[in-house]
Structures are given as structure tokens and as C-alpha cells.
Amino acid sequence: DTQSQITVPIIVNEHAIGALALESNTLNHFTQQNLKLLTNFAGLAAIALRNAQLYEDSLKKQRLEGELLVASKVQQALLPRRVPVIDGVTIEVLNVPSLIVGGDLYDAFRIDENRQAIAIGDVSGKGAPGAILMAVAYAGFKSLFNEIDPPATIVAKLNNLLYEATATGYYVTFFFAILDRSSGQLTYCNAGHNAPILLRKDGSTVMLKEGGTVLGFLENRTFHQNTVDFRPGDTLVCFTDGVTETMDVHEEEFGDERLMQTLKTNLGEQPKTLKIAILDDMRTFAGDCEFPDDVTLLIARLDD
């Protein structure tokens, strides 16, 4: 029968995860030296278990990063590297994911010789969940687009598709526009996205806000569209919230006013120059801070 026993807990991260025990059938068998030795063994066991956990966590992280890298490649394959444009229109795109996998999406393509489609969006989730939702939204838009339905109808259909496919709490902001060069008009629908800026040749601006709620949150929503003049020399600046929500060391946001100032300072510049100017101003403002969110710009200009 056990007459003597000493027990020492194994402590990892301030939590007891086990214990070491010695037993003897002799009364008062163990000494302080035995207790000290057992305590040392328990400490070594704790270190070994902690190292094993760290190693396992490291392997999991490597596997996750590998999976995210594959997802990133799939995602980048979905988004267009080059955007086909109609004659007389110049388009530039910038897409900088903040993580290995981003949640922004964009598209631009020719509908016919006079009409240009433009789209930009942002999903509510980041990382792998954001990538999946982004892929569903992008593929859904491509499958629903047709040359007959106006922007508001296509956006409404996309909303219902995302409502069926999206988990509760996730949503997509989306802006879709059709530029008609022959009529000199831009027809658009904005579903909860940052209002794109129509920068007129004379320096005046129009915020493109008309549309409706974010996509995928509520079913059978009604969306509206609006039509504005789009004249030679006018520039459309579409962006995600990663642009205006970029922060400096004091956690102040870049904001709409600084973006507008950059546009006014570079009035009349081509989309490529404007894109570089916006990115440079963002980086100067952020300093050593990383961009906290994906950054996407889509800039379209009707040539003079």
C-alpha cells in the first residue's frame, strides 16, 4: 500500500496540463531533495510539451499558408490581368491584397464597340473566407451579365444569388456601370460600395451613390440606377475602402478628403499617372504602417 507520495504539476502557459507523481510503501520516504528533483523534471516536461505544441502550431501555420497561397493563385487567375477596352477609353487597375488572399474584386470588359462594362466590389470577410466569397461574387457576376439587362437588374439578380450562397453575416459591396461612348453617358448601380468619383475635365466632381444596400444580406431587394453624362476628358475613379481607410502611425485615416485632393492636384492626368499618384500619396501618408486592408483602384477616362 502507498504510504508516501509527492506530486508536482506540469505547468504550461500558467495552466496545469498534467502532473508527475512518486509513490512509496514506506512512510515519510521522500525528502526535500526528492521534491526538488521531481519539480525539475516537471519543468523539463513542461518545456518539452510546450516545444511540441509550438512545433505542431508551426506545421499547421505552414499548411495554412500553403493553402492560402494556392487560393491566392486561384483568385488571381479569376481576376483579369488585362482589361479589354473600347476605342477612346483608357482604363488602369491597381490591386494590392493586404493578406496572402484578398477580398476585393474588379472587372472591365467590352460589351460592344460603343459600350464598356466596369465593376468593382469588396467582400466583408478576409483571408480564406473572403477569397471564397469573392470567387462566388465574381463568378456570379460573370454568369449573370448579359447585354440586355440594365445594371440595376443584374445587381438585383446577383444579390439573390449571393443571399442563397452566403453564410449569415457576410456580404458584398458592389458597383457596376456601363459607359456608352456613343451617347456620352454612364449608367450605374451602387450596392453599398464606396461612392466612385466622377472627376470632370473642369475639376468638378460627382459622387456616384445611387443604387441600394449591400449584396447577399437580404433577399429580393429593389435596386435603382442612375445615368450621368460622361464627356471627353472626364475620369471615373472607383476604389475600395482600403484606399480611404489606410492609416498613419496615429491611426488617422487617409480619408475621402485626401483622396479628393490627390485627384484635384492631378487633374487632367492619364489614368496610369493618377493611379501612381494615389498610391504614392497613400504610402507617404501611411509611413512605416502596412496597409490594413486590400487596396483596389479602377480608373477609367474618356479620351479628349
- Kindly state the average pLDDT of the residues 123-136: 79
Per the CB < 8 A criterion, the answer to whether 216 and 172 are in contact is yes
Q: What is the pLDDT of residue 282?
A: 95
Instruction: Give dist(CA 137, CA 122) in Å, integer.
Output: 9
What pLDDT shows up at residue 71? 65
Per-residue CA distances from 200 to 47, 127, 204, 205, 263 (Å): 66, 37, 5, 6, 11
63-72, 98-107, 112-121: range with lowest mean pLDDT? 63-72
* pLDDT for the residue numbered 269: 96
Res 102: pLDDT? 65
Hey, what long-range contacts does 259-263 have (CB within 8 A, 24 or more apart)? 259/197, 260/197, 260/205, 263/197, 263/199, 263/205, 263/237
Mean pLDDT for the chain overall: 90
What are the structural domain ranges in the chain? 4-69, 81-302
pLDDT digits (tens, 9 = 90+) for 202-212: 999 999 999 99
Cell digits of residue 44: 523539463
Tens digit of each residue's pLDDT (9 = 90 or more) over 167-198 = 778 899 999 999 999 999 999 999 999 999 99
Q: Which of 27-36, 91-100, 125-134, 272-281 has the lowest mean pLDDT?
A: 125-134
Under 8 Å between Cβ of 230 and 187: no
Q: For residue 140, what is its C-alpha cell? A: 456570379
Query: Which pLDDT score, from 0 to 100, does residue 47 have?
Result: 82
pLDDT tens per residue, range 222-256: 999 999 999 999 999 999 999 999 988 989 999 99
41: cell is: 523534471
Distance between CA 23 and CA 30 in Å, rounded?
9
Task: Answer whether residue 160 shows pLDDT above 80.
Answer: yes
Are 3 and 25 spatial neighbours (Cβ–Cβ below 8 Å)? yes
Residue-level pLDDT at 297: 97
Label residue 127 by pLDDT band (50, 70, 90).
Answer: low
| Rounded CA separation 178/193 (Å) | 16
Q: What are phi and psi of 231, to 5 degrees?
A: -100, 160
Burial, 43: exposed, middle or buried (Cβ in 10 Å; 0-12, 13-18, 19+)? middle
pTM for this prediction: 0.79
pLDDT value at position 61?
77
The CATH architecture of the domain made up of 81-302 is 4-Layer Sandwich (3.60)
Contact between residue 109 and residue 117 where contact means Cβ atoms under 8 Å apart: yes
Q: Which residue has the higher pLDDT, 65 or 1?
A: 1
Burial class (CB in 10 A: 0-12, 13-18, 19+), 56: exposed
Grid cell in block for residue 209: 451613390
